[in-house]
C-alpha cells in the first residue's frame, strides 16, 4: 500500500511523541505512513522548505494528499490519526469527559507548562555552568547559527527576524561569561520553576484515574504523557527509570521547597506506563 500521509517528527520532541503514541494505540500499519526526521538539534526545523510546511517551524506536522493543508498542531494530529482507523476512540463524546480532557490539554499546552523551563533555564551560576557544559548549549547555539544563516539568505522572510531575537536572548546567556547580566535571567527562571510546580499540582487535581479522564485512555493521557516524560528526561532522570520522580522533584524543590509529585499523578503514571502504546514509544524516557 502506498503511504497515505507523512509525519514530520523528532525523537527529542515531546509533542511529536503524541503522534507516535496515537499511531501505536490505534495500531496504524507502518506502511500507511512515512516518517521524516526533522533534526531540532541542528535547527533543521528552520529550513525554509520546512517552514513552508509548518509556518511555526515546529514538529510534529502531518502532510497528506487528502488534506487541504498540513496539520501543524499535535492536538489536530492526534485527532487525525484517531479518525483513520475505525472508531474515534481517543476523543470522548460524553460532554463531561470531554470537558475534563480539554482542561488537561489546555494545562499541559499552557505557557507555564513549557518544558524548556527544565531543559534550558538556569537559576544560579552553578546551574548555568552545568547547562553550558551540556548538550542543551549545542541545541541553543546550533539554532542561533541556523537562524542567522537563513535570515542572511532571506532578510525579508517574516519568520526569521523575531526568532533570531527570541533565541538570541537565550543564546547570549549560554555564550557569555556568567555575570550581572544573568541576574534577571536567574530570577525569571526561578519564577518559571514556581509556575511549572503549579502546573504539576493542577494536573494532580485534574486527573480522574485510572487514566487521565477516567476508565478509558483518551487524548488527554497522550498529551500529558509526552509532556511529563520529557520533563523527567530533561531533569536528568536515568532514562530507564520511568517511575523515578525524585530527580524532577528535587529540582523543583529548589524553587518550591514543599513541592512533591502528587499521589494521583503517581497512580496515573503507573496506569499509563503499563499500556502497550507507552511501552512502544517510551522504552526509555526522552
Ligand atoms: N503547539 C504545538 C507545539 C509544537 C512544538 O513546540 N514543538 C517543539 C518540539 S516539542 C518544536 O518543534 N520546537 C522547535 C522550535 O520551537 O523551534 C503542538 O502542540 O504541536
pLDDT tens for the chain, 286 residues: list them: 688 999 999 999 999 999 999 999 999 999 999 999 999 999 999 999 999 999 999 999 999 999 999 999 999 999 999 999 766 699 999 999 999 999 999 999 999 999 999 999 999 999 999 999 999 999 999 999 999 999 999 999 999 999 999 999 999 999 999 999 999 999 999 999 999 999 999 999 999 999 999 999 999 999 999 999 999 999 999 999 999 999 999 999 999 999 999 999 999 999 999 999 999 999 999 9
Ligand 1 nearest-atom number relative to CA 72: 20
Start-end of H helices in the chain: 14-26, 48-53, 74-84, 95-108, 116-120, 125-132, 135-153, 160-175, 183-206, 219-234, 246-253, 263-273, 276-281
CA of 40 to the centre of ligand 1 (A): 10
- Residue 63's φ and ψ, nearest 5 degrees, are -120, 150
Q: Which of 36, 44, 56 to mutate to test the pocket of ligand 1 (most atoms within 8 A of CB)?
A: 56
Cell of 259: 513541592
CA of 58 to the centre of ligand 1 (A): 4
Q: What is the DSSP letter of 46?
A: G
Residue with cell 494532580: 204
CA of 154 to the centre of ligand 1 (A): 23
Q: What is the DSSP string of 72-89?
A: -SHHHHHHHHHHHSSS--
The reply to whether ligand 1 has any atom less than 6 angstroms from the CB of 57 is yes
The reply to whether ligand 1 has any atom less than 6 angstroms from the CB of 202 is no
Task: Give the long-range contacts of residues 33-36, CB within 8 A, separation 24 or more.
Answer: 33/3, 33/4, 33/5, 33/6, 33/7, 34/3, 34/5, 34/6, 34/7, 35/6, 35/7, 35/9, 36/6, 36/7, 36/8, 36/9
Predicted pLDDT of residue 86? 66
pTM for the full model?
0.98
CA of 1 to the centre of ligand 1 (A): 30
Q: Is-cis flag, bond preceding 86, omega within 30?
A: no
Predicted pLDDT of residue 85? 77
Predicted pLDDT of residue 165? 98
Amino acid at each position: 500500500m502506498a503511504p497515505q500521509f507523512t509525519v514530520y517528527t523528532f525523537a527529542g520532541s515531546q509533542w511529536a511523541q503524541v503522534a507516535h503514541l496515537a499511531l501505536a494505540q490505534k495500531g496504524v500499519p507502518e506502511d500507511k505512513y512515512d516518517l521524516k526526521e526533522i533534526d531540532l538539534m541542528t535547527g533543521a526545523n528552520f529550513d525554509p522548505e520546512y517552514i513552508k510546511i509548518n509556518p511555526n517551524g515546529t514538529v510534529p506536522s502531518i502532510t497528506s494528499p487528502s488534506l487541504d493543508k498540513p496539520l501543524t498542531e499535535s492536538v489536530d494530529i492526534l485527532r487525525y490519526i484517531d479518525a483513520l482507523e475505525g472508531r474515534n476512540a481517543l476523543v470522548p463524546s460524553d460532554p463531561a469527559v470531554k470537558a475534563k480532557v480539554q482542561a488537561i490539554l489546555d494545562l499541559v499546552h499552557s505557557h507555564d507548562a513549557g518544558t524548556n523551563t527544565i531543559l534550558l533555564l538556569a537559576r544560579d551560576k552553578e546551574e548555568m555552568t552545568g547547562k553550558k557544559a551540556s548538550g542543551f548549549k549545542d541545541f541553543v547555539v546550533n539554532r542561533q547559527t541556523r537562524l542567522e544563516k537563513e535570515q542572511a539568505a532571506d532578510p525579508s522572510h517574516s519568520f526569521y527576524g523575531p526568532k533570531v531575537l527570541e533565541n538570541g536572548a537565550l543564546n547570549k546567556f549560554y555564550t557569555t561569561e556568567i555575570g550581572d547580566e544573568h541576574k534577571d535571567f536567574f530570577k525569571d527562571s526561578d519564577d518559571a520553576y514556581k509556575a511549572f510546580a503549579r502546573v504539576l499540582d493542577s494536573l494532580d487535581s485534574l486527573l480522574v484515574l485510572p487514566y487521565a479522564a477516567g476508565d478509558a485512555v483518551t487524548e488527554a493521557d497522550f498529551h500529558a504523557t509526552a509532556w511529563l516524560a520529557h520533563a523527567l528526561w530533561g531533569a536528568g532522570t536515568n532514562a530507564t527509570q520511568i517511575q523515578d520522580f525524585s530527580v524532577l522533584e528535587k529540582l523543583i524543590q529548589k524553587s518550591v521547597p514543599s513541592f512533591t509529585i502528587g499521589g494521583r499523578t503517581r497512580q496515573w503514571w503507573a496506569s499509563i506506563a503499563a499500556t502497550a502504546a507507552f511501552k512502544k514509544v517510551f522504552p526509555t524516557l526522552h
